[in-house]
Structure 1
Amino acid sequence: MCGIVAAVSNRNIVSVLVEGLKRLEYRGYDSCGVAVHQDGTLRRTRSTSRVAELDAQIAADAVAGGTGIAHTRWATHGAPAVHNAHPHFSGDRIALVHNGIIENHDELRAELQSKGYQFASQTDTEVIAHLIHQLYDGDLLDAVQRAVVRLKGAYAIAVFAKDEPHRVVGAREGSPLVLGVGEGETFLASDAMALAGVTDQIVYLEEGDVVDLHLGKHWISQRQADGGFARVERPVRTVHAHSGAAELGPYRHYMQKEIFEQPKAIADTLEGVAGFDPDLFGDKAAEVFDAIDRVLILACGTSSYSGLTAKYWLEAIAGIPCSVEIASEYRYRESVPDPRTLVVTISQSGETADTLAALKHARSLGMTRTLTICNVATSAMVRECELAYITRAGVEIGVASTKAFTTQLVALFLLTMVLAKRRGKLPAEGEAAALRNLRHLPAALQAVLALEPQIIGWAEQFVPRQNALFLGRGRHYPIALEGALKLKEISYIHAEAYPAGELKHGPLALVDASMPVITVAPADDLLEKLKSNMQEVRARAGELYVFADADTHIESSAGIHVIRLPEHYGALSPILHVVPLQLLAYHTACARGTDVDKPRNLAKSVTVE
């Protein structure tokens, strides 16, 4: 999603701003720009191309300065176009970048237009720039503080003024923003990764914070209930963020690299796990787990499918009721709260706006026992939740999540085992067997990855297709959902997933000779039922592509293509079966020539509602 980098320094800071944008490219964007204070004026360069092209344009325009702001934009209000790209100016005095959505922008726009302000864009962001300009009387901090109390919605902003050449003011509400402390210089960014290699001294700003940056010093104030602001102190943390995108090595795309990194990511996520003890999730975990009767999982997109898989585990193994809610829907419906619920949020970035908002809503209903499964230890989600399990997937560059998903599944399986043991549902021999299976997972995944050449052969057959169905049963139904999501988001083939038993309740009408049906067929208790569903497809001339375990006795024949996974893996089978679906989506997208790592219209970290 949108990215912010800002700096106040005595050196030319443009290269730092551009490098920061490059580190945020993985989040997804459709325009970018930089503005600096240069020779007493505001200078700006914007582009609807990639950051590399912006960098060349900056060099051609000779843009340089010690105070500046930069931005990558994912379009919400207004099409991807240069006039909608950030930074936005108000006259020749104010420059501003913004992440988030201002909900009352129409009202503010009308007010500002009545006072003579002219708008050059369709964005909600330009409203903030003009509002600050209208309130500015020589003190930028005062103008920003007075402006933000009038904003409704979510925002992280960075702004500077022509009349104050060594000052940037930032503010956040509902969208992440961090402060970087350097030697004689200060920085702002939407993600600490943007400042890697520049400073490792990071301050995580909290909701309602406004930060005043100068050369080598800063002050933070927080909005109070009465609308005023009070000076506060925030701790400075040493954060060793990844210094940039990893080398691709022998891989064509980051997504392919990340698919093949899954054995290591899972091994890293399991490092130090010697048993299923509550303290895996935090010092207070035993107390919290003993005080709950049910689990509520809140997540979006791929993370919600890991939650759906966990529902099968939690209810079947731990014997605890579990519900899974799409975070963007949960906060807007009437639900029945239960204070003895463990609220579990799942997010790769830990900054997903919908999930954070759903978490706050759950807490407002009295459900205060919270746990997050997250890949970023310093994220807002981790700070907001009582307990946490940090997956160790490493930086995931590709927009389509792969290793973050499988490490989430591992963490959720650990949670299942801990709760099962705590509730007396896990005998000692069951614990030992589960630990053995977890430790064997990386090797089992390597064997699945060796199927790539066969999957490439299938991918070629998907190139002309416009639609596909995915089928699964039981705990593999969410894996079918994830497979369909992967195919549609990177190959742009319309794909849907169904519980296989639902075919005859409607989707079977879509099946004909042109409809590929991808089937997840593990050797579990539902296999014979699944085989019957497959026959329903063949009877309508549908073409089956089956990922089967070795001992399922499903053979290739006319209209039935079979790839066999090396072994059945019991309760952990979903983690193995999702990998060939990832590879199928990846190689189909490659064959169709799409932008695999940066699919159109999508963003990596969705920080707007």
Structure 2
Amino acid sequence: MCGIVGAVAARHVQEILLEGLRRLEYRGYDSAGMAVLSDDARLNRQRAVGKVAALEEKLEGNALKGNLGIAHTRWATHGRPSEQNAHPHQSGDSLAVVHNGIIENHEALKGELEAQGYVFTSETDTEVIAHLLSREFTLAQDLLQAVQRSVALLEGAYALAVMHRAQPDVVIGARKGSPLVVGVGIGEAFLASDPLALLQVTDRFIYMQEGDVVRLSQGGSIELFDAGGERVERPAQIFEHGDGVTSKGGYRHFMLKEIHEQSQVIAATLEGRLGDHQVLVNSFGTDAEQLFQGVRQVHIIACGTSYHAGMVARYWIEKLAGVPTQVEVASEYRYREVVVPEGTLFVTLSQSGETADTLAALRFAKQRDYRGSLAICNVPGSSLVRESDLTLMTQAGPEIGVASTKAFTTQLVALMLLALALGRVRGANGEHAPIVQGLRELPGVINQVLALDGEIERLSMAFAEKHHALFLGRGAHFPIAQEGALKLKEISYIHAEAYPAGELKHGPLALVDSEMPVIAVAPNDELLEKLKSNLQEVRARGGELFVFADESIRMETNEHLHVLRVPAISEALAPIVYTIPLQLLAYHVAVLKGTDVDQPRNLAKSVTVE
């Protein structure tokens, strides 16, 4: 989504900032801007609506010359896409700031600042920060202190880069809830929301921690302060990965690369959307809280993999928010008589935002009496995003492999945020704090699952000569079993289907024999004992079982029972984690069978025809 670049250098910084913005374009944005302090300490700014190229065009005839500057790409939340709302924001002609995140108490702060004579010229929450910083600088006469005093008054999430003409050799950065890294140069220092933005100037980074404030000064000086204002040292780390988001980056296939990117893109999807103990409702847009307050039912519409994400979300929304939820395949939705209960939120899911059936369903829904529409999507500026009342952008980045992996798990994360947001608005906060903490820890757990890749590759050898497979799951893991079956059939061309494990006796058990592997998802939840009974039914009929089980479950591997132990995770978030070993299984089976993993036959990445 939004992107920050800052530089304190021994050379003019315009091109460094521009290149940083170009490297952040994959995140999605609708405007871009830059401010540079000139050698005579004048603050010069240029902003443009649209792509970075539009900003670059403006700068061609009016270069911003100076050794210190900040830049930003913005995705609109508070205020429409416009030059007036684009960053950097200024307070007078002295101070400039760029900001990622959402300030929840901006309205109260704005009222206070207006009463003190500050004049607002944009619709954004960020301009509140600019004037607040200006007020505190007047009192402290020091930019570091002004930032420290200001952030203590902010509620929500932020990453900031700030400069002031009265201190023309300093850029201050601060973070809470939104990432910010410090790039360590030779006699230079940089800021960015993503290391990829700075790989053209350095591969050494200091990852700021929650509540940190940093002062970058001419000559490359870097001073870090923790949330309590104490000076701290944080180690610089070498960034060892390539920055080509559309290259394979050393992986054999795009699909494998994208599977291994899931911890970082999930972290990016959570960026700026979590408060201390709850989701920030305004992550869904300025009007989200008011709209959500009237929601009495949810309709989720999607296709393919996105439909499976919606099916998981039904369990979450009903449990965490107490809102009845209905999930439908987009291609079927508009060909029946739809009953829309009062207060129904219409939710669409699409990686591309151009899926023809989903887009047609949205247009069909607009003719009916829905409370409002929400698009969860990976492509800003897409038709689905433009035509919906609210949007929540996933941050999967470009996904090249046709079989969706990281787009699916980021959709699941976004849907969990929706469930928590609806629950927060409805006052159902009891179970939310542990889940929010679990979301913060989720990228680390995913990295533990990815470390099982070698074990999963060995398991995949049992599938090389098979023609059929059956996937089983219960509760929210039945849709995960469906997604696992879809991945296997998409790229290995093995016929696979999924069933709720409790339905085995109602037909699928007739298919079980030694030639059809049965894959089961077994988290440690309230349905575990029932699932174990279902698995015994398979074993009693000579079936070969492959069980992905919570590491705390006692289940021993033997000749016909293969157990892969998955790191423990809370029941609420387990569907996200259990998706990943199924993706890896499908990938390795496809490699063994010699199929075209990234471009399987007859399929396209974005289905833009009905």
TM-score scaled to structure 1, two decimals? Answer: 0.60
Structure 1 pair 558/183, CA: closer, same or farther in 2 (3 Å)?
closer
> What is the rounded CA distance, in whole Å, between the counterparts of 1:568 and 1:183 in structure 2?
46
Amino acid aligned to 1:255:
M
2:596 is equivalent to residue 588 of structure 1 = no
CA separation in 1, counterparts of 2:596 and 2:245? 17
1:285 aligned onto 2:288: yes
In 2, the alpha carbon distance for the partners of 1:418 and 1:541 equals 46
- SS of residue matched to 1:590: helix
Q: How does 1:468-483 map to 2 (within 5 A)?
A: 468-483=469-484
Indicate yes or no: 2:326 matched with 1:330. no
> Structure 2 residue aligned with 1:390, among 370, 385, 393?
393
Distance 1:269 1:464 in 2: 38
Aligned match of 2:490: 489
Give the structure 2 partner of residue 260 of structure 1.
260
CA contact (8 A) 2:295 2:371 kept: no
Amino acid at match of 2:416: F
Partner in structure 1 of residue 299 of structure 2: 296
Distance in 2, matches of 1:496 and 1:435, equals: 33
Structure-2 separation of matches of 1:423 and 1:499? 31
Counterpart residue number, 1:605: 606
Deviations 1:448-485 (A, max 9, x none): 00000010011111010000000000010000000000
Q: Does 1:409 align with 2:408?
A: no
Q: Is the 8 A contact 1:448 1:579 kept in 2?
A: yes
Give the letter for the 1:366 counterpart. D
* Aligned partner (choices 400, 418, 423) of residue 421 of structure 2: 418
* In structure 2, C-alpha distance between the alignment counterparts of 1:505 and 1:247, rounded to whole Å: 47
Match of 2:384 among 381, 385, 390: 381
Where does residue 547 of structure 1 map in the other structure? 548
Task: Name the aligned partner's letter for residue 274 of structure 1.
Answer: L
Q: Does 1:347 align with 2:350?
A: yes
Given that 1:245 and 1:397 are in contact with CA atoms closer than 8 Å, whether structure 2 keeps it comes out as no
SS where residue 246 of structure 2 aligns?
Answer: coil
Task: Report the Cα distance in structure 2 between the residues aligned to 1:574 and 1:257, rounded to whole angstroms.
Answer: 21
SS at match of 1:603: coil
Question: 2-side partners of 1:557 and 1:608: how far apart?
Answer: 48
Trace 1:444-483 onto structure 2 (pairs within 5 A).
444-483=445-484
Tell me the distance in 2 between the aligned counterparts of 1:183 and 1:562: 55
Deviation at 1:432, TM superposition (A): 2.7
Show the counterpart of 1:74: none
Determine the C-alpha separation between the residues in 2 that align with 1:344 and 1:321: 13
The correspondence of residues 423-434 of structure 1 with structure 2, limited to 5 A, is 423-427=426-430, 430-434=431-435
Partner of 2:527: 526
- Provide the rounded CA distance (Å) in 1 between the counterparts of 2:436 and 2:368: 37
Return the offset for 1:389: 0.5
- Structure 1 unaligned segments of length 5 or more: list them: 1-177, 185-199, 201-241
**Corresponding residue for 1:510?**
511
Distance 1:387 1:500 in 2: 37
**2:273 corresponds to:** 273
State the 1:248 CA deviation.
1.2
State how far apart, in whole Å, the 2-side matches of 1:268 and 1:481 are. 26
Q: Secondary structure at the match of 2:366?
A: helix
The runs of 4+ residues in structure 1 deviating greater than 3 Å are 180-184, 242-245
Whether the aligned pair in 1 keeps the contact of 2:300 and 2:347 (CA below 8 Å) is yes
1:249 deviates by: 2.0
The answer on whether the counterparts of 1:465 and 1:493 sit within 8 Å (CA) in structure 2 is yes
Q: Report the alpha carbon displacement of residue 307 of structure 1 after superposing the two structures with TM.
A: 0.3
Aligned residue identity for 1:363:
K
Contact 2:435 2:572 in 1 (8 A): no
Q: Choose which of 306, 314, 319 in structure 2 pairs with 1:316.
A: 319
What is the percentage of aligned positions where both structures have the same residue? 58
Does the Cα contact within 8 Å between 2:296 and 2:342 map onto a contact in 1? no
Where does residue 216 of structure 1 map in the other structure?
none
Residue equivalent to 2:574: 573
Map 1:39-438 → 2, pairs under 5 A = 246-275=246-275, 276-367=279-370, 369-427=372-430, 430-438=431-439
Instruction: Give the SS at the match of 1:570.
Output: coil
Tell me the secondary structure at the aligned position of residue 295 of structure 1.
strand
CA distance in 2, matches of 1:422, 1:291: 9
| In structure 2, C-alpha distance between the alignment counterparts of 1:385 and 1:528, rounded to whole Å | 43
Query: Could you list the per-position Cα deviations for residues 263-290 of structure 1 after superposition, in whole angstroms to 9, with x for gaps in the alignment?
Result: 0000001111232232010011011101
Please state whether the residue corresponding to 1:400 is helix, strand or coil: coil
SS in 2 for 1:407: helix
Deviations 1:331-352 (A, max 9, x none): 1111212241000000000110
CA distance in 2: counterparts of 1:183 and 1:375, whole angstroms: 25
Secondary structure of the 1:563 match is strand
Match for residue 116 of structure 1? Answer: none
| Count of residues in correspondence between the two structures | 373
Read off the aligned partner of 1:359 and give its amino acid letter: L
Deviations 1:95-123 (A, max 9, x none): xxxxxxxxxxxxxxxxxxxxxxxxxxxxx
Distance 2:472 2:574 in 1: 15
Cα deviation 1:185-232 (Å, max 9, x = unaligned): xxxxxxxxxxxxxxx9xxxxxxxxxxxxxxxxxxxxxxxxxxxxxxxx
Q: 3-state SS of the aligned residue for 2:476?
A: helix
Distance in 2, Cα, partners of 1:183 & 1:469: 54
Structure 1 contact 372–385 (Cα < 8 Å) conserved: yes
- The alpha-carbon distance between structure 1 residues 371 and 558, as it changes in their structure 2 partners (threshold 3 A), is same
Whole-Å separation in 1 of the counterparts to 2:371 and 2:319: 25
- Give the match's secondary structure for 2:573: helix
The residue identity in structure 2 corresponding to 1:553 is R
- 1:413 partner amino acid: M
The runs of 5 or more residues in structure 2 that have no matched partner are 1-50, 58-72, 74-196, 198-242
Separation of aligned partners in 2, 1:424 and 1:182: 44
How far does the alpha carbon of each residue in 1:24-43 deviate from its partner, in whole angstroms, 9 at most, with x for none? xxxxxxxxxxxxxxxxxxxx
Question: Alignment partner of 2:369: what SS?
Answer: coil
Superposed CA deviations along residues 356-395 of structure 1, whole A, max 9, x for unmatched, are 1011111212225000110011111110100010010000
The CA distance in 1 between the partners of 2:447 and 2:54, in whole Å, is: 42
- CA shift digits 1:490-528 (9 cap, x unpaired): 000000000000110001110011110000000000000
Q: Secondary structure of the equivalent of 1:464?
A: coil
Conserved in 1, the CA contact under 8 Å of 2:551 and 2:568? yes
SS of aligned partner of 1:320: coil
Letter in 2 for 1:448: V
Q: Residue 570 of structure 1: CA displacement?
A: 1.7
CA distance in 1: counterparts of 2:364 and 2:247, whole angstroms: 40
State how far apart, in whole Å, the 1-side matches of 2:495 and 2:553 are: 29
Displacement of 1:244 in angstroms is 8.2
Partner residue in 2 for 1:231: none
The CA distance in 2 between the partners of 1:571 and 1:338, in whole Å, is 28
Partner of 2:103: none
- In structure 1, C-alpha distance between the alignment counterparts of 2:323 and 2:523, rounded to whole Å: 25
Task: Tell me, in whole angstroms, the C-alpha distance in 2 between the residues paired with 1:314 and 1:292.
Answer: 12
CA 1:181 to 1:282, structure 2 compared with 1: closer, same or farther past 3 Å?
closer
Alpha-carbon offset, residue 245 of structure 1:
6.0
User: Given that residues 296 and 322 in structure 1 are in contact (C-alpha distance below 8 angstroms), is that contact kept between their aligned partners in structure 2?
Assistant: yes
Instruction: Give the letter aligned to residue 442 of structure 1.
Output: P
Question: Take 2:55 and 2:313, find their aligned partners in 1: how far apart are those partners?
Answer: 43
Mapped to 2, the partners of 1:285 and 1:541 lie a distance apart of 53
